[in-house]
Amino acid sequence: MTKDYQKSLLWLQMTSGDNQHTSEVVQWVEQYMATNPPPLAIDVNWAGKSYLNIVWQDAMVSGMLDSLLSSFAIVFLMMVILFRSVKYGILAMLPLTFTITMIYGAIGWFGKSYDMPIAVLSALTLGLSIDFAIHFLQRARELEKETASLLLALDSMFQEPSKAIARNAIVIAVGFTPLLLSPLVPYVTVGLFLAGIMAMSAFVTLVLLPALLKFTSPKAMK
């Protein structure tokens, strides 16, 4: 308390530095003050390392979310320009969309919060997930022109090209597994997250894209 009794500092000593615990304390205090207003108008401000971490993390998470959405739109435009086709642009985005939905859905389902490592890695999801789709669609288009048949092109795709995509995904996914042995939780999160992205994006590419190519091709359906 200052000598003129105009300012006071209340120090809360916590046994945990977890941001979620600090957020619960802040929420509880604000709710208490809202239901039990002081007799005089006072200004209450928070300080401390734990609270600054919350503010910083919230700003980063919201910023990364906006970046992810804007990058998603930019990648879609790039796919349309690359393939010179809206159809193939949409097809190229589907493995990416399914991968992001499944991975982030699993994170929420297991109760993992959208923390800093997850927010930062969300930008990498775009590049890693779209890579296999570009290779698959481009090679499938080339084989379809050579064979004049989508079905023959897909048969050829599941020889060397698909084997290369599968092996690429396995090698990179396994390459991140040593991070699971790290004593630091963020490193374990990175290992699981990136390995899951590689495995899921390759699986969706090799299963979903051939089915959608046949479904969107009248000749192949006949």
Q: How far does Cα 196 stand from its chain's mean position?
A: 11
pLDDT of 192 reads 80
Residue 112: burial class (beta carbons within 10 Å; 0-12, 13-18, 19+): middle
Q: How far is CA 124 from CA 64, 172, 186, 193, in A?
A: 11, 14, 16, 10
Q: What is the pLDDT of residues 48-99, one digit of tens each?
A: 888 887 787 777 766 777 777 787 888 888 888 888 888 888 888 888 888 8
pLDDT of 116 reads 67
pLDDT of 218 reads 64
What CA–CA distance (Å, rounded) separates 195 from 174? 7
pLDDT of 221 reads 47
177 with 190: CB under 8 angstroms? no
Handedness of CA 170, 194, 94, 107 (dihedral sign): positive
If you count them, how many residues does the chain have? 222
137 with 209: CB under 8 angstroms? yes
- Residue the block writes with tokens 């005089």: 40
CA count, 13 A, side-chain hemisphere, 129: 30
Q: What is the mean pLDDT of each run of 10 residues along the chain (222 residues)?
A: 88 79 86 87 84 77 73 85 85 83 80 69 72 84 82 82 84 82 77 81 85 73 50
Q: How many other CB atoms are found less than 10 A from the CB of residue 78? A: 14
